[in-house]
Amino acid sequence: MTDTLVLLFHPSLAKSKTNAALVRQATVIAGLEVIDMYALYGDGKIDADLEVKRLLNAERVVLQFPIQWYSSPALLQTWKDIVLTRMFYIAYENEGKRFEGTPLLIAATAGNTHSAYSPSGINRFSLGENLTPFMAMAGRCGLPWADPFFVYEAGKLDEASLEKESTRYADHLRKWIAESVAHRI
């Protein structure tokens, strides 16, 4: 059983400075496993059996991705369509029902500034508001929603800022893990 499963949906991790730094820092956390979904399913052909098994064997799940056009990368949507549809509409009793109650955390990066994601900014909406469909998904699937983790100005951060943000991510994960363990006791 995996304590914490991080499903990383980055279409070009080799070119990513920010998501790669976050992953490097997160992997030092005991019991945490990172799966690079684009490395596995770059062709979009998702192994639903394997993904359902992964989810059912996880104590908690993180979806990590860059915000792209106010949403997630295409593979994450495909994954939801294939895996969650199966779990909650086709095999609810054996899969979806067993997955309910699994804590969910979103970790997202954005290329623009924090102020750009505000009513007066160019993007008009906060990153939190951009995640409304994910909040609805979590509610529908009975997954406890955690405060998301955001990094702004991804791809523009210097080494010191990358270190600071990746340390902040690991701290956020550790706190969330501790809270979710305490909640289940």
Q: What contacts 122, CB < 8 A, 6 or more positions away?
A: 112, 116
Cα separation, 123 vs 117, in Å, equals 5
**pTM higher than 0.85:** yes
Q: Which domains does the chain have, with CATH numbers?
A: 2-178 (3.40.50.360)
Query: What are the tens digits of pLDDT across the range 83-120?
Result: 999 999 999 999 999 999 999 999 999 999 898 898 99
Q: What does pLDDT average to over the chain?
A: 94
**Contact by Cβ (8 Å): 145, 104:** yes
List pLDDT tens digits, range 111-168.
Answer: 998 988 989 989 898 889 899 999 999 999 999 999 999 999 998 999 999 999 999 9
- Given the structure tokens 């059912």, which residue do they identify? 56
User: What is the gyration radius of the CA atoms in the chain, in angstroms?
Assistant: 16
